[in-house]
Structure 1
Amino acid sequence: MMSALVDEVADLMREVAAREILPRFRLLTDGDIEEKSKGDYVTIADRDAELWLSPRLEALLPGSMVLGEEAAAADPKKLSLAQSDAPFWTVDPIDGTGNFVAGRETFGVMIALVNKGRVRSAWIYFPLSGDLAVAEEGAGAFWHSGDTVQRLFAGRSANDVSRISGAFNVRFMAEEWRDRVELFADTVPRKSTYLCSAWDYVSLARGAHDLVTYNRMMPWDHAPGSLILREAGGVLRSLDAGADYMPATLAAPHLAARDEEGWQRFAAAIRNAV
């Protein structure tokens, strides 16, 4: 049974998408777009959506704070929240901003509630379709599409390497891990390039992908998907230390997989790649 909080946050996501995001899709002007760093975009829709969401989320849980991607970009000291035991919300107002800027449909809105260092609740919303993935710790993960609600089960990863599907994000990896991941990726014939964590994690949780790799582990990018994947039976764990993902970890080579057996098999193949 999902709590009332799940519906309240979902309603906020739908409203902010209708107010700040969808009216700007494929209508951005040059003045609406900035580059925070090479290839890392922010738009007026990102900023206005985060500004609209933040006080409303904090009001849902008195004493909580918001760790938003754009606020942290403006003031990196805000990332210290990820190291605390205090309750906080992670907000990625538009995950896949580069896709949004390019007019591609692969973007989403992501929110998670973290308390005492653990992800307790998670939401990934796709404004164009209205589809929503939600999870609460210990209560399962669910996919809402139209009037249909289905429990998410990631299922088992493919055993035949020719049937494996994955995404390989290596941009921020140290050379040692990047080389190993790229060597393994060369053996995987079915690769995706969503460039959007929201799409990656939901694809895993719905059983459409077998694995995804990451290294830059900002909480707004990974806290929501980590819980949805875990509650669907999947795994997100570091390749070097073998530790399950925690929001306090900001950078380390990570592997996400549909199931434990698949994680172990893919991790071994990556670690042994030469």
Structure 2
Amino acid sequence: MIKKIIVAIISLSLANIGFSITNQEMIDTGNANQKKTFDKYFNGTPLAAADNTALMNKVYAEIMGNLYRENRGYFDREFARLTGNRKSDFRSMYAYYSDYVVEYPKFLKRAFGNFLQDVSDMQSYTYTNTYLILETFNLNMNTYLEGEKNAATIDQNVNAIYDYLYSVGDSKTKDEYKQMSSGQMSMLVEQEYRNLENILNTRAMEGTNEKKAAAGSKSSLKKLRKLYGNYDKYFDKYIEASKLSAENKEKLKKLAKFENISNLKFIAQSIEKKENNNKSKE
């Protein structure tokens, strides 16, 4: 999954206001736009040869800034058109989501900065994960808004997200995830949080420094878990109050959960000790 996401992460969603766009088109357009950003800074120099943290920070900041502006644009436009309780729920959803976005890199810095097999990968891994939680919000909003206009677009856009984030080698197939209820997927989210916490507990036993680092990571993870729970709750309420069919509401409510499962698996794979991975394959 890690290789798949790092390659696929070269995507910057550029939604065209007033025009229909599929999730796959958003991802594909993003590939080209992000490549332009890298080329602008590196002038065609292979990225592998660019060992410059400060310069990479500039690249990432520009890409993330553009993505965040699109992210905020979805909120502003939708908030302006909503009324009543649905407007209030949407505001609460975005507030919890925004706090989640702020806390997420703090957790990643603690976890990746102390437990990656190669700590020099921390910058790119942190970027990858932070990027995903911004991008998937945009993809989710596009799925819903296009679905409100034409319900026939929902399956295609939902499938694009599953294809994008699904990890080959997962114990569950994409079809198994799709056939789950949102309640069943919620239980999987909790399972992945527990798994990640268990990995941190195991890493804590390696020494005094690791114990301190794991404690800080677990404290931040606890905050993330609570923020995600509230974001997910209000996202469900926002979708439930829409005009979509019950079947399509269920499909959309599962998206944020599947995306979180994917991200948590990514982090767990990244910080688990290599020998633990080998044992799990025996």
Verify same fold: TM over 0.5.
no
**Larger relative contact order (Cα-Cα within 8 Å, sequence gap ≥ 6):** 2
Instruction: Compare CA radii of gyration and give the structure with the larger one.
Output: 2
TM-score, normalising length from structure 2? 0.30
Between structures 1 and 2, the one with greater helix share:
2
